[in-house]
Amino acid sequence: MFMESILSVRALTKKYVGRRTHLAVDQISFELKKGEILGLLGPNGSGKTTTIQMLLGTLSPTSGSIFYFGKEFVKHRSEVLNKISYASAYTSLPWSLSIKENLITFGYLYGFNPKESEKLYSPLLEKFGMLHLKNAPVSSLSAGQITRLMLVKAFFIEPKLVLLDEPTASLDPDVSKEICDFILEERKKRDLSILFTSHKMEESSLLCDRIIFLKQGKIIANDKPKHLAKSIKTYRIILLIVDGMKRIQSLIKEEVLSHKIDHRVVEVQLDEEKIPKFLHDLSRLNIVYTNIKILEPNLEDYFLLMSKK
């Protein structure tokens, strides 16, 4: 499906030398194809931020190489930076400037004059319902509006590749969904390549064609979200106990099952092949239950399991 390589990372390493040597990123290699959304996930301290900084050129790698569009980043920095953009929940815009002033100033960096910039950013502002606010200072915007503006800023310059660092952090679910829909629509419309980081697993599963999981600076997985989820083979069984709480507690203790109990709602984690026996044991012990749910493993289950290992 994805053929042309937009980004190629080869044995990228970042080592900090001091009283103790710290290997923040340890010889990671991966590729991002044209039109692909690639997720870069991992627990805190896994090397995600360091990797993004090296990809943006704000941090020099200790060793390894980065190629954009087949050209080595260190040798073609200006040319490459003119084709990529970046948006993050953790960067800020000049608050005293208006939306229009921010976008026009940013457009200058990519060679667009004010009229060209306005022609490009206006449809995106309109899509977010913010065109009427173009003369408002950034300081007057809500958190959701600032996130929308950051995305307009990243996308209106017509980049070939967008790096998105937790773009929906701290946003309400409805705003997050709007942002995700926008990202998917822009990818489809422009055949964009996107590198995406997030701590929201449901969102990552929805957006990403492929996910790289980092831990302690190393890549420990590189696959489709559904394949990562299925690899752990652990299901969650949730049921409301009508009668037999003591009996199910004894069963859980006897079988040494990972579980949660909240009043009469019981959740246990089981490998797929053990589910029939568990259901049989419930019947054998006359445990009366209702509202049973058998949930397949998802990306969040994978994330939690890999983070603990």
Task: Give the pLDDT band (50/70/90) at residue 41.
Answer: very high
Shared domain check, 257 and 207: no
Structural domain includes residue 183: no
Place of tokens 């590749």: 161
pLDDT, tens digit (0-9, with 9 covering 90-100), for 239-298: 999 999 999 999 999 999 989 999 999 999 999 899 999 999 999 999 999 999 999 999
Shared domain check, 251 and 216: no
User: Which long-range contacts does 127-136 make (Cβ < 8 Å, 24+ apart)?
Assistant: 127/182, 128/152, 128/178, 128/182, 130/99, 133/99, 134/98, 134/99, 134/100, 135/98, 135/99, 135/100, 136/98, 136/99
pLDDT, tens digit (0-9, with 9 covering 90-100), for 213-245: 999 999 999 999 999 998 988 899 999 999 999
Per-residue model confidence (pLDDT) at position 29: 98
Task: Give the pLDDT band (50/70/90) at residue 307.
Answer: confident
3-class state of residue 167 by DSSP? coil
Per-residue model confidence (pLDDT) at position 154: 96
Shared domain check, 242 and 206: no
- ∠ CA 55-57-59, nearest 5°, is 95
Per-residue model confidence (pLDDT) at position 9: 98
Tally the domains of the chain.
2
Mean local confidence (pLDDT), 90-95: 88
- In which domain, by residue range, is 225 found? 1-83+197-230
Shared domain check, 278 and 208: no
- Evaluate if residue 74 carries a pLDDT over 90: yes
- Evaluate if residue 3 carries a pLDDT over 70: no
User: Any idea what the CATH number is for the domain that residue 288 is in?
Assistant: 3.30.70.980
Per-residue model confidence (pLDDT) at position 4: 83
Task: Give the pLDDT band (50/70/90) at residue 2.
Answer: low
Shared domain check, 259 and 207: no
- Evaluate if residue 304 carries a pLDDT over 90: no
Task: Give the pLDDT band (50/70/90) at residue 39.
Answer: very high
Shared domain check, 211 and 257: no
Structural domain includes residue 191: no
Whole-model pTM above 0.85? yes
Shared domain check, 293 and 242: yes
Mean local confidence (pLDDT), 115-119: 98
- Evaluate if residue 309 carries a pLDDT over 90: no
Last residue of a domain, one of 189, 209, 230: 230
Structural domain includes residue 171: no
User: Any idea what the CATH number is for the domain that residue 5 is in?
Assistant: 3.40.50.300
Indicate the average pLDDT of the chain: 94
Shared domain check, 281 and 214: no
Per-residue model confidence (pLDDT) at position 1: 53
pLDDT, tens digit (0-9, with 9 covering 90-100), for 17-27: 988 889 999 99
